[in-house]
Amino acid sequence: MKVFGAQYGGSAVDLKGLPGSGLPEVGFAGRSNVGKSSLINCLVGVRGLAHTSSTPGRTRFLNFYLINSSFYFVDLPGYGYAKVSKQMRSSFRGMIESYLKSRLQLKGLILILDGRHQAMASDLMLRDWLIQEGLPFRVVLTKMDQVPHRQWARVQAQAAGLLGGDRDRILLFSAATGEGKKEVWRAIEKMLGEPRNTRRQAKPMIPPGQGRARKERRAPFGPNTQQVEDG
Ligand SMILES: Nc1nc2c(ncn2[C@@H]2O[C@H](COP(=O)(O)OP(=O)(O)OP(=O)(O)O)[C@@H](O)[C@H]2O)c(=O)[nH]1
Ligand SMILES: [Mg+2]
């Protein structure tokens, strides 16, 4: 996609603060510090549009970026970060859950994982929940510049094995080199092109319950997801 305009479109701490324009949205979710904001900046080609930081937990609100005056990218707070207070973690969770559940113009989600590490319980839980809700999503493994090229196929296959589904549907990306950018855009364009009312009936990319995550989940982040994964 040719990006001719990208601008900050506001932040929301709860559902009341969401933009009221009705334009389609694509969400970016993943554990803290995986590179969600960097992915957004690289896709739109604007350095510093979404705030990035080597300190995990940088993105604390739902941040909206208006692209080409026609749709929003939504940078979601990272999950699985142990060093913020329990209260703050649960408020992040509540905010993400209610947004994902209720936002009709949300066309789909880019689920981002650090390509150097395996998917964790929180990632698998979110994936299970997305399948259950019928919300389209694609998996992007980022920071792939840190993984030697000869290992890419293995990393991709491993992620597909853990997350379930076809290996070709796991996209490999690096914000540092821009590799994989075209493929991620293609996936986003497809999401944006899908008719809005088919979302809840959408065919899941992966049958529910594959991989290691538990099956019956009503929310992406259950009580057990007060992560100790980070520290
Ligand atoms: N080498 C490399 N570093 C990256 C890449 N993407 C992000 N980073 C670095 O990883 C750190 C976190 O990046 P962010 O984009 O802020 O991550 P985030 O997921 O938005 O983080 P939170 O908002 O805190 O959840 C920063 O130091 C980035 O420079 C990448 O593709 N390659
Ligand atoms: Mg961020």
Position 195 scores a pLDDT of 59
- Give Cα 26 to chain centroid, integer Å: 9
3-class state of residue 79 by DSSP = strand
Write out pLDDT tens, residues 195-231: 544 445 444 444 445 544 433 334 555 443 333 344 3
- Do residues 218 and 131 touch, judged by C-beta distance below 8 A? no
List all residues 6 or more positions away from 21 whose beta carbon is below 8 Å from its beta carbon.
Answer: none
Atom of ligand 1 nearest to the CA of 56: 24
Cα 119 to middle of ligand 1, angstroms: 16
- Domain 6-225 sits in CATH at 3.40.50.300
| pLDDT, tens only, 140-168 | 999 999 999 999 999 999 999 888 878 88
Against a cut of 0.75, is the pTM above it?
yes
CA of 9 to the centre of ligand 2 (A): 15
Q: What share of the chain has pLDDT > 70, as a percent?
A: 76
Mark the ranges of the chain whose per-residue pLDDT is less than 70: 56-60, 80-92, 195-231
Residue with tokens 């293609």: 186
Distance of CA 17 to the CA centre of its chain: 20
142 CA distance to ligand 1 middle (Å): 9
Q: Taking a C-beta distance cutoff of 8 angstroms, is the pair 113, 29 a contact?
A: no
- Residue located nearest, by CA, to atom 16 of ligand 1: 52
DSSP 56-110: TT---SEEEEEETTTEEEEEPPPB--TTS-HHHHHHHHHHHHHHHHH-TTEEEEE
- Of 113, 106, 96, nearest in space to 39 by CA: 113
Coil, strand or helix: which one is 25? Answer: strand
